[in-house]
Chain A
Amino acid sequence: MTVSQTGQRKRSAKDFTWKNILKHREKYILVLPGLAWYAVFAYIPIFGLSLAFKKYMARMGLFGSPWIGLANFENVFADPAFLQSIFTTLRINAGRLLFVFPFPIFLALILNEVRLGRPKKILQSIFTFPHFLSWVIVASIMVNILGQRGMVNSLMGGLFGAKPVSFLGIPSYFLPLIYLTDIWKSAGWSAIIYMAAISGIDTEQYEAAEIDGSTRLQRMWYITLPGIKPTIVVLFILAMGYLMSGGFDQVFNLSNPATIRVAETLDMYIYRITFRGSVDFSFSAAVALFRSVINMVLLFTADRITKRFGGSGLLA
């Protein structure tokens, strides 16, 4: 984990004698509750995914059901809704990388140019606040202001005499809705990490550039932006690691029967087949295992690549 681990400590850590274990017994007592939680509520579900290769029988439970090989996967890959959900997930998340990802960078760059301390703080508070609300609340607000009788429609009607539009019920509006609400909710929060990176840039560079007669836009473009480039690269690669996951809360709360065709991501699909309609837990487990493996591969790859770029990544 840290560089400070000396050879001596490493040796004692490997020393599995009773004497050594007894010496550290208090440590074991300390970590026991937390580790017990991980064992039951993280690792049992992980091993429970073995259900993907079994036929689930309620009375035999998660680990007692009989093995049936790859039959579940054959059914999964034969389901067009499954394949469609993968495509939908990739489409939504690729759009996020393209439209949502750059916004916090831009926001941090221009917030950094605000030279009045107080307005800057107030603005930052406003931009950060929605992050702390759940998607249930944010979606409720959006349903309210974007609805047929909502603020946006009545404003458009009042100003231009426009007819009310059902922003949430038109499939072609769904992706823009996802991106815009995502920016609305979390751009301010995501900008914080870039602001921190900006504050780490050596001020001498700015002074030197100023003496050389550069404009502020030039300094933003040639000093600030390159200064935070490592942060941008690391966060972009990590975001690629989440290409097949994330956004369930948002999509679930903003979609409705009218838009479900373009909104059923892999996680939404898993929810539907598991908790709505005919329930086949083995089938669900096969999809869930597929999801977990894909996500792990993506995240692990992203993690390794960020380390090459000098980030410390997710894992130590």
Chain B
Amino acid sequence: MNAKVKKAETGFRERFEMLDGVILAFLLVLAAIIVIPFVNVIATSFASQKEASESALLLVPRQPTIDNYYRLFQDPRILIGYKTTALILLLGVPINLILTTSLAYGLTRINFPGAKFLFFAVLLTMLFNGGIVPMYLLMMQLGLTKSIWSVILAYGVNTFYFIVMRTYMTTLPESLIESAKIDGASELQVLFRIILPLSKPIIATILLFYAVDRWNEWFNAMVFLRRNDLIPLQLVLRTIVMDSTIVNSLSISGPRVPRFTEGIQTAAIIVTMLPIMLVFPFLQKYFLKGIMIGAIKA
């Protein structure tokens, strides 16, 4: 075992060619193109206006300050943003999961009257959808515009995630289910005692899929809500960035406009991005699994 590893290592060193160097250098440049903007945004958010305007490439602020964050949180919209997004996440994700899991298990085997038709009706929505116009009118007619429920209910089941989950469930051994049924277990008992425990990895994956989608939601909220006390964080960020861009281009300097707009903008970006950064290690592990299962299907 040990000898093998050693052999592989020396083998590698012997064969380290020009090409390896070129490829690695090229990939490092690509990685830098992705990483440097993030580093610059983080650095700007902790920098003073003076330092940001004086340095050609700000990567580490010499005198870090939390002034930008202090001023950002004076904007009441940030707290409204966190509250609204938390509400969407906490109400939305459980609904997403319950709808998707029960539907995926219910349609795992197409062996009851009408099942084929129902399965096809679900898949058809991937090809044909009404889009935002009738959805908006529907929400108006249901009296849900201006309510958080419009955003929550507009995104119920993601058909792609449904397929991923269903595909996983079809791979579970049918003999387990059959024997449980012979023992007199009901369909719900089978779901809770056998299917759900065995489906933990895929449920975790889909949970993360939905949580990220919910965190990143902004369009439905922009169209349906239109309330100053109910704005998801993404939309708050958008408003802050767009506002200051307009202010910059028009050179307006009113008393309420903070001077170092880039500082506030970048702080807002960090505040919106931070949760995704924190869960990214888990995301990577589970998402890779998810896309592999999806890839086998698609």
Instruction: Using CB atoms and an 8 Å cutoff, list the residues of chain A in contact with chain B.
Output: 1-2, 5, 9, 12-17, 20-21, 23-24, 26-28, 30-31, 33-35, 37-38, 40-49, 51, 56, 61-62, 107, 110-111, 113-115, 119, 123, 125-130, 132-134, 136-137, 139-145, 147-151, 154-155, 157-159, 169, 184, 188, 192-193, 196, 216-217, 248-249, 253, 256, 270-271, 274-275, 281, 284-285, 287-288, 291-292, 295-296, 299-300, 303, 311-316
In chain B, what residue has the closest Cβ to A299? B127
Please state if B234 and A137 are interface contacts (CB–CB under 8 Å).
yes
Considering the complex, which residues of chain B in the window 124-151 have a beta carbon less than 8 Å from any beta carbon of chain A? 124-138, 141
Please state if B153 and A288 are interface contacts (CB–CB under 8 Å).
no
- When distances are taken between beta carbons in the complex, the residues of chain B under 8 Å from A114 are 20, 23-24, 27
In chain B, what residue has the closest Cβ to A303? B127
- When distances are taken between beta carbons in the complex, the residues of chain B under 8 Å from A249 are 219
A-B contact pairs, 15 of them (CB 8 A): A33-B102, A37-B156, A38-B156, A128-B284, A132-B276, A132-B283, A143-B265, A149-B53, A196-B295, A248-B219, A270-B132, A288-B133, A295-B127, A299-B127, A312-B298
Q: How far is the CA of A192 from the CA of B12 in the complex (A)?
A: 25
- When distances are taken between beta carbons in the complex, the residues of chain A under 8 Å from B276 are 132-133
Candidates A12, A127, A132, A314; contact of B212 at CB < 8 Å = A132
Q: How far is the CA of A32 from the CA of B160 in the complex (A)?
A: 19
In chain A, what residue has the closest Cβ to B137? A62
Please state if A184 and B33 are interface contacts (CB–CB under 8 Å).
yes
Instruction: Using CB atoms and an 8 Å cutoff, list the residues of chain B in contact with chain A.
Output: 12, 17, 19-20, 23-24, 26-28, 30-31, 33-38, 40-41, 44, 53, 55-58, 98-100, 102-103, 105-107, 109-116, 118-119, 121-138, 141, 153-154, 156-157, 162, 170, 186-188, 191, 212, 215-216, 218-219, 223, 234-235, 237-238, 241, 245, 248-249, 262, 265-266, 268-269, 272-273, 276, 280, 283-284, 288, 291-292, 295, 297-298
Give, as a whole number of angstroms, the nearest-CB distance from A164 to chain B. Answer: 12
Interface residues of B, dominant DSSP: helix
- When distances are taken between beta carbons in the complex, the residues of chain A under 8 Å from B12 are 115
- When distances are taken between beta carbons in the complex, the residues of chain A under 8 Å from B291 are 192-193
| Residue in A147, A148, A248 whose Cβ sees the most chain B Cβ within 10 Å | A147
Interface residues of A, dominant DSSP: helix
Please state if A48 and B134 are interface contacts (CB–CB under 8 Å).
yes
Please state if A110 and B20 are interface contacts (CB–CB under 8 Å).
no
Q: With A37-B157, A249-B219, A300-B127 known to touch, is A271 a contact of B132 (CB < 8 Å)?
A: yes
What 10 pairs between A and B have smallest CB-CB spacing? A45-B130, A158-B56, A34-B103, A48-B134, A26-B187, A31-B106, A24-B112, A134-B216, A30-B106, A37-B156
Please state if B238 and A140 are interface contacts (CB–CB under 8 Å).
yes
In chain A, what residue has the closest Cβ to B244? A143
In chain A, what residue has the closest Cβ to B280? A129
Please state if B284 and A125 are interface contacts (CB–CB under 8 Å).
yes
